[in-house]
Amino acid sequence: MSGPAAGGTAARGGAPGGDVPLLQARGLTRNFRVRASRARPGGGLVRAVQDVTVALPRAAIIAIVGESGSGKSTLVKLLARLIRPTSGTLLLDGAPLPRSSRGRREFARQVQLVLQDPFSSLNPVHDVRYHLARPLRIHRLARTRPELDRAADGLLERVALTPPGQFRGKYPHELSGGQRQRVAIARALAVRPRVLLADEPVSMLDVSVRLGVLNLLADLRERDGLAIVYVTHDIASARYLADAICVMYAGRMVESGPAAVVTDAPAHPYTQLLIGAAPDPDRPAAARLTPGDAATGPAIPAGGCPFRPRCPHAMRVCADAVPALADLGGGHASACWLHADGLSAAERSALGRGERAAGLAPGRRAARPRREAR
Ligand SMILES: Nc1ncnc2c1ncn2[C@@H]1O[C@H](COP(=O)(O)OP(=O)(O)OP(=O)(O)O)[C@@H](O)[C@H]1O
Ligand code: SF4
Ligand SMILES: [Mg+2]
């Protein structure tokens, strides 16, 4: 799903240091072949990420929001170059990535990943000092014991684990969840990255310490100019932290734009449902996501808009073709036929309940070629 570069215009003040985004994905697609199972008797293809285009400016924070299975982690792994795309390209500073092992190592240094579960991402048999010293040694940023200790202390101070001497010798089980995640972030910072990919970094933490870790990420952007991709289920925390929000559904990016615009005036029916489902004390009669609807799997019909079985506005055209991201102005874009002009009355007619879930609406022979929504 190509379209306006999410975050490119939405990040605060644009992209410091020029218009070329720091990290850019163009038309990223990743399919997985899976064996036969009860849910998929013939096996088949999981379309985890479909045609996603996104741009991360320098010192910007972009949030990737979506339900479980919408492709967020797969997108992050593609951005981290941990898995290969089925198609599409990644650019760093506007240039294609080198394939040499040296180029790969340098990319891995510049683009660091922080995972959801700090307990499993830290080795229980090693102390904090070991976790911080290892990347410093591998990337030859410090060698002698005093150099390593100095660098480790500096990292602990940057993530507010102070005084550092109190934390250096501790093992993961001796730390709280929030402290473990701070150590994981410090380890990522050890190699002086330019991009941090944070895949649900606070979802396993106690609610009381989440805000502290989110504020730490905001601080790293402010102080060090780090660009951050923040993955979350929680659109409220995305609004709090990010400049721009990209909403994913069934592997596709369905809406993107400045965080305040996407949350205050969501254009896509799925984003509207997500916001309606978020707890809000000022909105007692909040809409709820339909229980039992998975974001991917058999509930996702093969052709047309993947959201149509759950969409209160589904029209005949929605069963025919995938809507492209339409530019709504101001860096805001949404992939929905509701934004398209020039549809016929037949195309705009409501889709029946049974037709929504079908691969193709009855009476139609084949999906039309994809159309640009304008
Ligand atoms: N290695 C794999 N092999 C087969 N299918 C996979 C693989 N990795 C991911 N998938 C499938 O791709 C889809 C997207 O998965 P992904 O983990 O990216 O979703 P997610 O949005 O991160 O979900 P969650 O919020 O639960 O972490 C899912 O249907 C998942 O089962
Ligand atoms: S394209 Fe159709 S089914 Fe999809 S979100 Fe828009 S109105 Fe709903
Ligand atoms: Mg995930």
DSSP 319: H
24 CB near ligand 1 (under 6 Å): no
Rounded to whole angstroms, how far apart are CA atoms 74 and 30?
8
Residue 232 has phi, psi (to 5 degrees) of -160, 155
Rounded to whole angstroms, how far apart are CA atoms 317 and 347?
5
Give the pLDDT score at 359: 60
End residue of a domain, out of 217, 243, 277: 277
Considering the domain architecture, whether residues 37 and 180 belong to the same structural domain is answered as yes
Rounded to whole angstroms, how far apart are CA atoms 351 and 320?
11
Rounded to whole angstroms, how far apart are CA atoms 257 and 260?
8
Q: What CATH number is associated with residue 255?
A: 3.40.50.300
Q: What angle do CA 19, 30, 357 make, to 5 degrees?
A: 110
313 CB near ligand 2 (under 6 Å): yes
The per-residue DSSP string of 99-131 comes to: -SHHHHHHHHHHEEEE-S-HHHHS-TTS-HHHH
Q: Is residue 164 part of a domain?
A: no
Is the link from the previous residue into 135 a cis peptide, with omega within 30 of 0? no
Considering the domain architecture, whether residues 264 and 353 belong to the same structural domain is answered as no
Give the number of the atom of ligand 1 that is nearest the alpha carbon of residue 77: 18
Considering the domain architecture, whether residues 251 and 334 belong to the same structural domain is answered as no
Give the pLDDT score at 281: 58
Closest C-alpha to ligand 2, atom 1:
336
Give the number of the atom of ligand 2 that is nearest the alpha carbon of residue 254: 5
Closest C-alpha to ligand 1, atom 1:
32
User: Which segments of 234-362 does DSSP mark as H helices, in order?
Assistant: 235-241, 259-264, 269-277, 316-320, 345-348, 353-357
43 CB near ligand 1 (under 6 Å): no
Considering the domain architecture, whether residues 272 and 311 belong to the same structural domain is answered as no
Considering the domain architecture, whether residues 269 and 307 belong to the same structural domain is answered as no
Rounded to whole angstroms, how far apart are CA atoms 183 and 172?
9
Residue 371 has phi, psi (to 5 degrees) of -115, 150
Closest C-alpha to ligand 1, atom 25:
68
The per-residue DSSP string of 10-32 comes to: TSTTS-TT-SS-SEEEEEEEEEE
- Structural domain including 253 reads 23-125+171-277
Q: Relative to the alpha carbon of 199, which ligand is closest? A: 3
Q: Which of 236, 232, 230, 235 is nearest to 216 (CA)?
A: 230
287 CB near ligand 1 (under 6 Å): no
Considering the domain architecture, whether residues 259 and 309 belong to the same structural domain is answered as no
Rounded to whole angstroms, how far apart are CA atoms 223 and 218?
9
Cα dihedral sign for 184, 185, 191, 197?
positive
The structure's pTM equals: 0.89
Give the pLDDT score at 147: 94
Rounded to whole angstroms, how far apart are CA atoms 102 and 314?
50
Do the beta carbons of residue 361 and residue 316 sit within 8 Å? yes
Do the beta carbons of residue 242 and residue 208 sit within 8 Å? no
Q: Which residues of the chain have pLDDT under 70?
A: 1-18, 39-42, 279-299, 357-374
Cα dihedral sign for 308, 313, 315, 317?
negative
Give the pLDDT score at 111: 97
Considering the domain architecture, whether residues 189 and 98 belong to the same structural domain is answered as yes
Considering the domain architecture, whether residues 93 and 198 belong to the same structural domain is answered as yes
128 CB near ligand 2 (under 6 Å): no
308 CB near ligand 2 (under 6 Å): yes
Do the beta carbons of residue 343 and residue 20 sit within 8 Å? no
Q: Is residue 156 part of a domain?
A: no
Q: Is residue 157 part of a domain?
A: no
**pLDDT, tens digit, 9 for 90 and up, residues 322-344:** 999 999 999 999 999 999 988 99
CA atoms within 13 A on the CB side of 119: 8
Q: Which of 100, 54, 49, 20 is nearest to 197 (CA)?
A: 54
Give the number of the atom of ligand 1 that is nearest the alpha carbon of residue 71: 18
Give the pLDDT score at 64: 98
Considering the domain architecture, whether residues 222 and 328 belong to the same structural domain is answered as no
Structural domains in the chain (count):
2
47 CB near ligand 1 (under 6 Å): no
Q: 334 in the Ramachandran plot: left (φ > 0), alpha (ψ -120 to 50) or beta?
A: beta
Considering the domain architecture, whether residues 45 and 112 belong to the same structural domain is answered as yes
